[in-house]
Amino acid sequence: MSFVLAIDQGTTSSRAMVFRSDISIAAVAQQEFPQHFPASGWVEHEPEDIWTSTVMTCRDALDKAGLTAKDIAAIGITNQRETTVVWDRATGQAVHRAVVWQDRRTADICAKLKADGHEPDVSAKTGLIIDPYFSGTKVAWILDHVPGARERAERGELMFGTVDSYLLWRLTGGKVHATDATNASRTLLFNIHTGAWDETLLKLLRVPRSMLPEVKDSSADFGTTTPDLFGGPIKVAGIAGDQQAATIGQACFTPGMMKSTYGTGCFALLNTGATPVKSNNKLLTTIAYQLDGVRTYALEGSIFVAGSAVQWLRDGLGIIKHAAETGPLADKSDSMQSVYLVPAFVGLGAPYWNPRVRGALFGLTRNTGPAELAHATLESVCYQTYDLWAAMRADWPDASAATIVLRVDGGMTASDWTMQRLADLLDAPVDRPTIQETTALGAAYLAGLHAGVYPEPEKFADNWRLEHRFKPAMSAATRQRKLAGWARAVKGVLASDEGE
């Protein structure tokens, strides 16, 4: 059994990928599912859509690869993090739609917790800030807004999980309620120093302990799928949140290595080794992975809008039909214009963390058209990455431009224009790997490591291959001018917040 099946359950689609023992890809299947926006700033998924699309893509990938369950050594799961599901322990039915990581409905709860002075203690334990992004306040909201849910939860009838836990519970026929340390570290309920759920935080957010999954290593025995799903039982042996899985897939096993993933949002993680680094610049301290009971930490910066800004150009404005058109269109823009898009469609993430502000365009003229908007949209992702890069270098005493290696992955990295602009603005090389599917590869690696298909991290790192290195080519004066313009644009957006 030299094949591993990776489930990559994302925000807009579910994917399944079959990897061979040499990490080459044998088959891929993908299926989009509906997004629900019941109110401004609210984002939901039907848990049943997540489940059925996951099962269908797994079956499809196995068919395409010409394999059966007995050919698969293990399954690895990677998932959209923070998205919150609460379901009935007896029936498996969700009591409410999944509340997605992008959802901002708990902004008022978070504001009250901050006003009451809880953030220093929460941050010290979790490495996070109090923000609607994380799962804890989402669980509390579901328990408070679904009739009878809080009473049922207190009687032990309801379960909470991030998407990995929900899928694992369904895959194992309700036998296993577990998660890994990376997903647990995104809930606001988990102490990243002790590696355990924190009773004080559970009380603060009013989440009953009985709802929570068991926390395991990222590479571990997570049980076995029921035989009816894939024609035979398959071990589940790896779980990691999508950004941590991408960090593993990029083989960022050495402190100082950094990866940036460009999907719906953009997420940069910097491996800081065995010691959690406290951020002074509103970055998150998180668990990069946990192997053999040993936690490796990272600094993380989260940008809520990256690829979804390109979707906005396509679906909202209708100025492109396909994402691939954006780079060539941006290339045609008027170099005399300085148009800035601050894509705060759902507030701003790191290092600003303001859920209330909304997006804005600056520098518009009568000649601004589709090319300039495409240019500003792609550049906005690079500017936001620069903000994270600068914050990480300020936070981590060992960091310098010479030591940080930036590896990129995700859909937007296919755009040479965007990656070149990123290298220009960072004034540092940007490495794009041969295998772009690093999130799924990370999940496959964790499962394959436990199943004996893949080697220890150091040897696995030898498999990483560079496809293209983008080197900075912009003059220092141009870079400084552009970054100063971006800083002014962000300042303008922050000043528009009525709460300031």
Residue 253's nearest CA partner among 240, 277, 272, 275 is: 272
Q: What is the pLDDT of residues 241-288, one digit of tens each?
A: 999 999 999 999 988 888 998 888 888 999 999 989 999 888 999 999
Cα separation, 238 vs 220, in Å, equals 6
Q: What is the pLDDT of residues 166-224, one digit of tens each?
A: 999 999 999 999 999 999 999 999 999 999 999 999 999 999 999 999 999 999 999 99
Q: Find residue 98's DSSP bridge partners.
A: 45
Mean pLDDT of the chain: 92
Cα separation, 235 vs 221, in Å, equals 8
For residues 64 and 27, is the Cβ–Cβ distance under 8 A? yes
Cα distance between the two ends of the chain: 59
DSSP letter at 274 equals T
Q: What is the pLDDT of residues 344-389, one digit of tens each?
A: 988 888 888 887 889 999 999 999 999 999 999 999 999 999 999 8
Q: Which residues contact residue 437 at a Cβ distance below 8 angstroms, ignoring those fewer than 6 apart? A: 8, 17, 25, 28, 249, 409
Cα separation, 196 vs 252, in Å, equals 25
Tell me what pLDDT residue 497 has: 74
Q: How confident is the model at residue 102 (pLDDT cuts 50, 70, 90)?
A: confident
Cα separation, 328 vs 53, in Å, equals 33
- 438, pLDDT greater than 50: yes
Q: Which amino acid is at 321?
A: K
For residues 48 and 129, is the Cβ–Cβ distance under 8 A? no
- 398, pLDDT greater than 80: no
- 499, pLDDT greater than 60: no
**pLDDT > 70 fraction of the chain, expressed in percent and rounded:** 98
Q: Find residue 8's DSSP bridge partners.
A: 15, 78
- 399, pLDDT greater than 70: no
Q: Which of 140-149, 220-229, 403-412 has the lowest mean pLDDT?
A: 403-412
Mean pLDDT of 446-469: 91
Sorted by where each starts, the structural domains of the chain and their CATH numbers stand as 3-242 (3.30.420.40), 251-433+465-500 (3.30.420.40)
Q: How confident is the model at residue 426 (pLDDT cuts 50, 70, 90)?
A: very high
Q: How confident is the model at residue 461 (pLDDT cuts 50, 70, 90)?
A: confident
Cα separation, 132 vs 109, in Å, equals 8
